[in-house]
């Protein structure tokens, strides 16, 4: 049970840190005191489902990540599990956007689905590249395969694609258009009080989990001198989060009407090429 405590504690601290770093304590307090509200003829079941699903899939995806030496749920198909859980965000965002029965959340929902179509295929190819390089879908063995050389070094394209898709799945920073300012906050436009708090916490959790997954996938997991494995995992996760934050500050939002072409014409061929190179090396 030590792993569960470690994972939950670490996740909680990181999510809180990310949320508070945006000077959000007042926002958290607001989430606890602000009234809930309803739109006209909402589909309440779908909204609540969407709101709750987001943090749940983030936690489920985190279960397979090794905190230190071992994961809470050391699955033989850990990478597939991770991918399946994080796709649950599609359902969460779409349900929350659709259920409110209001224009801007609906448009936000559309945008997220379009975003999914753009990022998901390159994302899966990036994960497959890692699995191919390690010869396993188990996170523990992926980490073990990086003893000599971190995957980020010889799979840079896969890492780049992973970073883009991590931001996209958490619809944050440049990939934040589903919740964009131009549509009054998009999927979050009609959420208030605890609904808003849970949904946004779920989004930050997803961002943190996506950053944490980059560590065993590309950055050698808990490997490093002096410090114990769990500490290295935490340090590397924070470093990836810092990278995300830097991107968020420097890059404006990316619209899918332009990005879609880039994703299919450039990212997918590039990630396939990366897959080919890794395949040849492994053989």
Partner 1 sequence: MGLRGWLLRHAASRPPVLVVAGPYGTRLRLLVEACGWPQARSPAAAAVLVSCGPLGDRLASAADNVWNDMPGPRARVSLPADATAAQVRAALEQARESLADETAQLRDAAEHLTTAWHPGEAADPTMSCATPSEPPADEHEPSDEHLGGHGSSGGHAASHEHPGGHGSSGGRAASHEHSGGHGASHEHSGGHGASHEHSGGGGASGGHEGHMGVVGGVAMAGRGPDRDGLMLDQLHVPLGPVMADWPDGLVVETVMQGDVIQRAVVVTGHPEAGRSFWDEPWLAAAEGEPVTRGAAERRRAAAHLDSLGRLLAVAGWPDAARTARHLRDRLLQSDRLLQGDRLLQGDRLLQGEDRLVRGDEDVVADYARFARRVRRSRVLAWMLRGLGQVDRDHAFLAGDVLDRVHRRLEAAGDAIGRLQDHAPLTVDLGAGGEDRGPWGDGRDKWSRVAVDLLPGLLEGAELAEARLIVASLDPDLAQLSPEAAHG
Contact residues toward partner 1 (CB under 8 A) are 23, 25-27, 29-30, 32-43, 98, 100-107, 110-111, 174, 176-177, 180-185, 188-193, 196, 248-255, 257-258
Q: How far is the CB of 164 from partner 1 (least distance, A)?
A: 12
Contact 94, 115 (CB under 8 A): no
Give the shortest CB-30-to-partner 1 separation in angstroms: 4
* 61 vs 100 by CB, closer to partner 1: 100
User: Do residues 188 and 42 touch, judged by C-beta distance below 8 A?
Assistant: no
Closer residue to partner 1 in complex, CB, 10/109: 109
Q: Which two tokens stand for residue 187?
A: 């999927």
| Residue 139 near residue 218, CB atoms below 8 Å | no
Residue nearer to partner 1 on the CB measure, 95 or 132: 95
Q: Which helix (H) or strand (E) holds 195?
A: helix 193-218
Alpha carbon distance 181, 255 (integer Å) = 13
Q: Residues 270, 274, 279, 281: what is their CA dihedral angle, to the nearest 10 degrees?
A: 140
For the chain, the residue count is 283
Residue 96: which of 185, 28, 16, 182 has the closest Cα?
185
> Which CB atom, from 104 or from 159, has the smaller least distance to partner 1?
104
Report in angstroms how near the CB of residue 98 gets to partner 1 at its nearest. Answer: 6
Q: How far is the CB of 240 from partner 1 (least distance, A)?
A: 19
Shortest Å, Cβ 122 to partner 1: 17
Residue 67, helix vs strand vs coil: strand
Determine which helix (DSSP H) or strand (DSSP E) holds 93, and give its type and residue range.
helix 78-99
Cβ nearer to partner 1, comparing 142 with 207: 207
β-pair type (66-67, 70-71): antiparallel
Shorter beta-carbon distance to partner 1: residue 90 or 151 = 90
For 7, 53, 69, the CA distances from 124, given in Å and listed in that order, are 25, 21, 25
Nearest approach, Cβ of 219 to partner 1 (angstroms)? Answer: 25
- Which DSSP letter does residue 35 get? P
Nearest approach in angstroms of CB 199 to partner 1 is 12
Residue (156 or 246) nearer to partner 1, CB = 246
| CB neighbour class for 113 (10 Å; exposed up to 12, middle 13-18, buried from 19) | middle
């Amino acid at each position: 049970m030590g792993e569960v405590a470690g994972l939950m504690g670490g996740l909680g601290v990181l999510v809180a840190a990310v949320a508070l770093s945006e000077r959000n304590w007042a926002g958290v307090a607001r989430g606890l005191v602000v009234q809930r509200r309803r739109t006209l003829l909402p589909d309440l079941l779908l909204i609540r489902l969407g709101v709750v699903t987001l943090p749940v899939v983030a936690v489920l995806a985190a279960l397979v990540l090794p905190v230190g030496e071992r994961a809470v749920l050391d699955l033989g198909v850990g990478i597939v599990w991770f991918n399946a859980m994080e796709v649950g965000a599609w359902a969460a965002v779409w349900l929350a956007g659709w259920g409110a029965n209001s224009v801007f959340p609906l448009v936000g929902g559309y945008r997220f689905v379009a975003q999914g179509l753009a990022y998901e295929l390159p994302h899966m190819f990036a994960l497959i590249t890692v699995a191919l390089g390690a010869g396993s879908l188990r996170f523990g063995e992926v980490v073990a395969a990086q003893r000599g050389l971190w995957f980020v070094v010889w799979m840079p394209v896969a890492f780049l694609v992973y970073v883009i898709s991590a931001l996209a799945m958490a619809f944050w920073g440049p990939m934040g258009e589903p919740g964009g300012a131009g549509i009054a906050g998009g999927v979050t436009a009609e959420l208030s009080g605890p609904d808003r708090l849970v949904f946004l916490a779920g989004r930050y959790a997803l961002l943190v989990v996506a950053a944490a997954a980059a560590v065993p996938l590309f950055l050698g997991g808990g490997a490093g001198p002096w410090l114990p494995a769990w500490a290295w995992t935490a340090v590397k996760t924070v470093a990836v989060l810092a990278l995300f934050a830097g991107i968020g500050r420097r890059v404006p939002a990316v619209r899918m009407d332009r990005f879609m072409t880039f994703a299919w014409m450039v990212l997918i061929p590039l990630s396939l090429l990366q897959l080919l190179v890794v395949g040849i090396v492994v053989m």
